[in-house]
Amino acid sequence: MDSTSPLHKQMLDRALELAHAAAQCDEVPVGAVIYDEDGQIWGEGYNLTITNADPTAHAEIVALREAGKKRGTPNLTGLMLAVSLEPCAMCAQALAWARIKEVRFAATDPKSGGVLQGAAVYTHKTCHHKPFVDHGYLAEESKLLLQTFFKAKR
């Protein structure tokens, strides 16, 4: 499958919906969905760092925790992630530890990204699992949501 497949678009659409839900809760608007090739959602979530007073409660981590519980294992081999913003280094490494098959994100994050930007976790020899990465679908919508959210904060 490629980034233009209906399944990946559907899951990135859902991730953006979750990002909007995060904004409604006054959380940084990022949403994530973990799913399989049949379209079954194993985990989803949005940023809850403020709500949970937990700096690790990023959307990807929230979704990983739910998927791990549903599967009964931290090994999520064969599952894919759709997220509205490029994962940070912490999330990128957690996705590698979980052995996520594919990471698909909407907007890049030049400030805190950890996949294509900054730490670029998957480019290191020491990264034990390197998922397929694709990005760009809904990038402008995700970027606009983030810009609007932070503009309102200023």
At 136, the amino acid letter reads: G
Burial 54-70 (b: 16+ CB within 10 A, else e): eeebbbbbbbbbbbbee
Q: Which of 27, 44, 60, 102 is catalytic?
A: 60
Secondary structure (DSSP) of 97-151: HTT-SEEEEEE--TTT-SSSSTT-GGGSTT-S---EEEE-TTHHHHHHHHHHHHH
- Both tokens of residue 21? 């839900």
CA 109 remoteness from chain centre = 12
17 is catalytic: no
Active site residues: 60
